[in-house]
Structure 1
Amino acid sequence: MNQEIKVYNEKQTLGDKEICDQLATGIDNELTEAESKIWHAHPVWFLDGNPIVGYSKQKAGIRLMFWSGADFEEESLSVRGQKFKDASVYYNSVLEIDRNDLKRWLKKSRDIQWDYKNIVKRKGQLERLK
């Protein structure tokens, strides 16, 4: 696990740390080619410089967000972004994490991507990469 992400996880409450550790391990195991780092104060994984998946502590729980998740056609990723193509799910217990769902979503995150890396250059317009 990336050292910065490990530090982020360590700062969480015990229950939230367990969720964060399980998410980070699952993401690292599936997206082995991804670069991970703390980006805008939260753990994020990138493929070729494009943000793919990340998580953050929010009032509703630990939010797992997929930047292109709105196109995954997954009911469980029910929290949809208003402006972009993101979709999320919230966890309040490590027991809520379905490893099969996580693995499936991560595979889709590799195959379905919108170009967030160049969004500023395109003045807020997204283009589909894959």
Structure 2
Amino acid sequence: MNPEIQTYNLSQSDEHLKICDLLASEITRGLPEAENKIWHAHPVWFLDGNPIVGYSIQKRGVRLMFWSGADFEEPELNVTGEKFKDASLFYNELSEIKLENLEGWLKKARDIQWDYKNLVKRKGQLERLK
């Protein structure tokens, strides 16, 4: 695990630490080719410089976000962005994480991507990559 992500996880409460550690290990296992780092103050995984998945601590819990998740057609990813193609869900207990769902979402994250990397260059317009 990236040392910055490990530091981020270790700074969380006990239950959130467990959730973050599991998410980090499963995301890394599911997307082994992805670069991962702290980006905008939370852990994010990138494919070819494009943000794919990340998590953050918010009032509602640990938010797992897929940048292109709105196109996954997954009812569990029910917190969607208003402007872009992101979709999320929140965890408050380790037992809420369904590994088979996470594995499927990570496969979709590789196959369904919008080009966030060039969003500024395109003046806020997203283009589908895959």
* TM value normalised by structure 2: 1.00
Task: Give the structure 2 partner of residue 115 of structure 1.
Answer: 115
Q: Does 1:10 align with 2:7?
A: no
RMSD of equivalent CA atoms: 0.2
Pairwise CA distance, 1:26? 0.3
Residues in 1 aligned to 2:103 and 2:6: alpha-carbon distance in whole angstroms: 21
- Following superposition, the deviation at residue 57 of structure 1 comes to 0.1
Q: Paired residue for 1:89?
A: 89
Q: Which 4+ stretches in 1 moved above 3 angstroms? A: none
Partner secondary structure for residue 64 of structure 1 = strand
SS in 2 for 1:89: strand
Query: 1:99 corresponds to which residue?
Result: 99
- What letter matches 2:27 in structure 1? I
Unaligned runs of 5+ in 1: none
For 2:22, what is the secondary structure of its paired residue? helix
Q: CA deviation at 1:90?
A: 0.1
Between the aligned partners of 1:23 and 1:102, the Cα distance in structure 2 is 9
Gaps of 5+ in 2: none
AA partner of residue 97 (structure 1): I
Q: Number of aligned pairs?
A: 130
SS at 1:70's partner residue?
helix
- Paired with 1:47 and 1:3, the residues of 2 have a C-alpha distance of 19
What are the within-5 Å matches in structure 2 for residues 68-87 of structure 1?
Answer: 68-87=68-87
Between the aligned residues of both structures, percent identity stands at 69
Q: Distance in 2 between matches of 1:107 and 1:93?
A: 24
1:126 shift after superposition: 0.0
Q: Which amino acid aligns with 1:117?
A: K
Tell me how far 1:80 sits from its aligned partner: 0.5
